[in-house]
Chains A and B, each alone.
Chain A
């Protein structure tokens, strides 16, 4: 049965609202010391936080620790979540602050090409694996040329589909700053990638 875009959008909205409500419920239970609820929340956010922190920090070896630092704050401060923003916004804001603090402390350059090469799906064809690996290396190199703040905006937008207003809440800056960071990040990426992007697609 075909659905109109409006019906489809309403369905997606309803699903998102349902997920947001479920997340809020889990946070509420976590605030009461429910470890089972916390672990559900952990498993739900682990993949998203991993991608975000990898993209933001460019330090794969640091991601697991930062992720757990973030979730430890969620466990300890679940009672302070007031429901004014989405749970995802709250958790990503914690992760962002943790990552930025860590980046201030850890100043050495990191480029873990080996970790990148391990990420191709195991069932992918060899040629496809090679193309994906080269594409990731290309993109990874280009992202290295951005500031951490720009990478955060790029990651939240490109990987997680977060709107610019919510990004402004997560990184704690005005909406126009988010747009500006994206504008200059795009320009930088375009200069670094040039026409190479099209060659792989």
Chain B
């Protein structure tokens, strides 16, 4: 059926009967209800239609869906790994090159220097980087994530987060950097097992943190 409009009958019965499904479910406005009730009060034909509509309403309520929320959500989490961040951030990223070109030269050099410092620090931190089979693979809690050094959290920072802010965030959360960045700019952190939930709460409260997930299911939302 296309979007074309086939005119309903011009008689009052057709117009009332067309609205009965919404009348029975209480989704008409007051004026429409009043018009229908005025007609129903004097029309046996439309009263019979209303009775049938009520029977259909009861029958349809009996049909409950089969559903498994957590199973479906786990499947979607797998698809979210590596997916683009929501549009607003994507748009911000797309604007970056223009801002980069238009910004003052000293700022560009400062950013380059900062990136170099971060890279140097990362190299130092990950001198004992895990073997390929030990790499972080997925955000899903069911995923197998054998990470060296006992990593138990995965975190993504906002793109604009500075190295100094990252360090401060880790200190505040009592977390230690174990591995990262992954291909999706995620970092694997290690926190004492008894403080995982607390650390997740602290990290989620940080403005610099885009997302944080437990790798063993603890503290999951």
Contact = CB atoms under 8 A, between A and B. Distances in A.
Answer whether A and B are interacting partners.
yes
Interface of A: 30-36, 39-40, 42-43, 46-47, 50-51, 54, 60, 64, 67-68, 71-72, 75-80, 115, 118-121, 132, 135-136, 138-140, 147, 149-150, 154, 157-159, 161-164, 172-174, 176-177, 179-184, 186, 189-190, 193, 197-198, 200-201
A147 B6 CA distance: 15
B5 interface: yes
Contacts of A40: 221
B89 A33 contact: yes
Given A119-B63, A190-B52, A157 B22 contact: yes
Interface string B79-107: 11001111111110000000000000000
B168 interface: no
Contacts of A120: 64
Given A36-B204, A162-B27, A198-B55, A150 B1 contact: yes
A113 B91 CA distance: 46
11 contacts: A32-B88, A68-B72, A68-B75, A75-B86, A119-B63, A157-B22, A158-B56, A180-B6, A180-B8, A189-B56, A197-B52
Contacts of B56: 158, 189, 193, 197
Contact of A147 (B1, B27, B59): B1
A54 B30 CA distance: 32
Contacts of B83: 72, 75-76
B17 interface: yes
Nearest to A48: B65
B59 A121 contact: no
B211 interface: yes
Nearest to B25: A161
Given A119-B64, A161-B27, A64 B8 contact: no
Contact of A64 (B25, B72, B158): B72
A32 B73 contact: no
A184 B6 CA distance: 10
Contacts of A147: 1
Contacts, number: 161
B21 A149 contact: no
A177 B25 CA distance: 19
Contacts of B89: 31-33, 79
Nearest to A121: B64
Contacts of B3: 172-174, 177
B75 A76 contact: no
A201 B61 CA distance: 12
Interface in B1-45: 1, 3-8, 14, 17-22, 25-28
Contacts of B88: 31-32, 78-79
A79 B87 contact: yes
Contact of A139 (B17, B22, B59, B156): B59
B75 A64 contact: yes
Given A34-B210, A135-B62, 12 more contacts: A33-B85, A40-B221, A43-B69, A64-B75, A76-B87, A80-B87, A150-B1, A157-B25, A176-B7, A177-B3, A180-B6, A201-B55
B63 A79 contact: no
Nearest to B19: A179
Contact of A42 (B53, B76, B91, B204): B76
Nearest to A195: B52
B108 interface: no
Nearest to B29: A163
Nearest to B64: A119
A50 B86 contact: no
B86 A76 contact: yes
B57 interface: yes
Contacts of A47: 65, 67, 69
